[in-house]
Amino acid sequence: MKLLKALLILLVILIAIPLILALFVTNDYALERDTIINVPKAIVFDHIRYLKNHDEFSIWAQRDSAMSRSYKGEDGTVGFVYKWNSKNSDLGSGEQEIVGIQNGKRIDYELRFIEPMTSTSSAYMEIDSLGIDKTRLEWGFKGHMNYPMNALLFFVDMDDMLGGDIQLSLDNLKKGLESQPKPLVMGTKAFLLRYHKRISDSLIAAVKALSSKQLQFKPAVDRWSIGQCLDHIIKSDKLLLGIIKEEMNKDPQPQLLDSIGVSDQQIVTQLADRTKRYQAPSVLEGANSYKQVDSALADYKQIENEILKFAKQTDIKAMRTHHSVYPFGNSDVYQALMSLAGHTSRHTYQIEQVKANKNFPKS
């Protein structure tokens, strides 16, 4: 009986010790690491603002190549959510949301961990220019542990536990950005071809794994399905490429150069901006006829290859001296070719919005 009593007292003491200890341990922790990247500030910020790019350098993402990911919203903007789910117990599941952006300066995040333990913490990335081709990037984390779980902070040094991983991730980012070729100059053929490839790759990645049910799902009666978006992109590309080729068969009009109503940058910016809605003409209305994504992608890749072949074979100076009135205004052929990719980018974002709908089929 005395032994049982002694064991009970010991058990109470063992339970009480961490509870008492937790009263004297901080609930909060913070850590940060930084690196110097020999790349202009604008390039660094443009890369880190997109959460999908973080998979390229995050040491955590690289620890599980089979980790599933899903997204909600427009990447690179406030409100975008990146969700992950891993069978690796060290990674677990959770989501990260962009909660604040100071353009060219800082991005703030909220991390919500679900497994193996529910908790919420914040993070940020902040950059400063140290010269034309030198940027300092600081990556910091702040967390909070409620009583009595904060007792763990007495035994675990979060800076030691996470700091090394943050630094490895920063080292990966530095190596990746510094090894990239110098940015292409807008207005060159190389920029045009790279722009098309980037947009094309994004569209293909967004739809390649979709089922027939997902392809034809409509979020509302007056909203297009993903299949309709793809059909619209393909129809538009075919129509506008035909107009462009006809224009190139005409005599050049260099005297009309000053009449161009938009800049190359405006083409990229305005077409990607979905805050402005446009009604597609009836001839370009998207049909919900695709039953399999493979057939839709085959048609898209065919017309995209025709566009790229035409762009490669056409002299850049000739593009600039042939003009026509397109849906976005009086533009030269180079801008018209850019608009094809910009238009695809616009509808890729629309596709992501459909996928983010709460009623979107799981498979």
Q: Return the CATH number at 101.
A: 3.30.530.20
The strand pairing partners of 326, in sequence order, are 329
Does residue 264 share a domain with residue 343?
yes
Place of tokens 């902070």: 153
Range of the domain at 75: 25-179
pLDDT at 170 over 80: yes
Q: Of 169, 139, 131, 168, give the one whose Cα is nearest residue 38.
A: 131
Q: Is the peptide bond before 219 cis (omega within 30 degrees of 0)?
A: no
Whether 3 is in a domain gets the answer no
pLDDT at 160: 60
Which of 90-99, 107-116, 121-130, 177-186 has the weakest average pLDDT? 177-186
pLDDT at 152 over 60: no
Domain boundary, last residue among 153, 179, 205: 179
Provide mean pLDDT across the span 69-73: 90
Whether 97 is in a domain gets the answer yes
CB 328 within 8 A of CB 256: no
What are the pLDDT digits (tens) for 93-116? 889 999 999 988 999 999 888 887
Q: What is the pTM of this model?
A: 0.54
pLDDT at 108: 94
* Alpha carbons 102 and 89: distance in angstroms, whole number: 34
pLDDT at 255 over 60: yes
Whether 362 is in a domain gets the answer no
Confidence band of 83 (pLDDT split at 50, 70, 90): very high
pLDDT at 41 over 60: yes
Does residue 298 share a domain with residue 170?
no
pLDDT at 24 over 50: no
Other Cβ atoms closer than 10 A to 181 = 7
Sign (positive or negative) of CA dihedral 285, 289, 291, 296: negative
